[in-house]
Structure 1
Amino acid sequence: MELDLIKNIVDFGLVVLIWLVQLCIYPAFSYFKKDELLKWHKSYTPRITSVVLPLMATQLSLSIYFVYNEATTIALINLILVILTWVSTFLIYVPLHNKIKANQTPLKSSKKLVDYNWLRVFLWNLIFLINLFF
């Protein structure tokens, strides 16, 4: 299978996943009472990480590969956008999940996840569309 196709599949997988997270998973946190949210979150985070992390790592690896081997403007833009997803994940979303895990304003943090996650929705959709059409 060609690497372009693999990249498009991974990018699309992240688009589908982020929309599920944004429209179904994160909003569902608001239906939990505090203790139930803490219990669910403890179970949820390692499982979702086992899905998201390999996809993100593959996307990053392929983006680096294309910049190194093709050195096009589109490949560079793609890599920058992918890096932005990583930066936002570790500077915004991981700390919010850690606040939930540590029982520091879990309900407020879960609301912020819904509000702030639109950034990743935008980035992963943009990455997919750029790579699909260019």
Structure 2
Amino acid sequence: MSVLTTKEEVIGFYEDEKYWPDTEASYICVEGEEILYGDGFSEVGEFEFTFLQSLPAGTKIKINEGTVWDEHGDFSTDFVDYFKRWRREHAKKDEVTILVKCDKSNEDAVRAAIAAAGGKVSV
């Protein structure tokens, strides 16, 4: 079982503190090429998260499998199901995750404008 999504949605999922998974590993396909995505807080995970952020806006990502464990390593759930649960909950909210690109000289002004409009800047 897999789920097709976008770069922006995967990043939004991983940035959601309520759902941030302690994953053993998950496999995702980026533009048809399968990559192993490790624990988001490990050195490897940090690199892979940076890799996801560097992809072009709207890049299609296929999440193939993975396991989400509780903090004690006792209970696990399917990563794809966990992502779908997050997606359903997120869809009920009146919000959107967007990628903003601007000139470096305007970064502070853009961040301030987003914050003034009630947005959250994560990166």
Q: Which has the higher helix share?
A: 1
Q: Which has the higher strand share?
A: 2
- TM-score of the pair, normalised by structure 1: 0.26
Which structure has more RCO (C-alpha within 8 Å, separation ≥ 6)? 1
Which entry has the higher C-alpha Rg, 1 or 2? Answer: 1
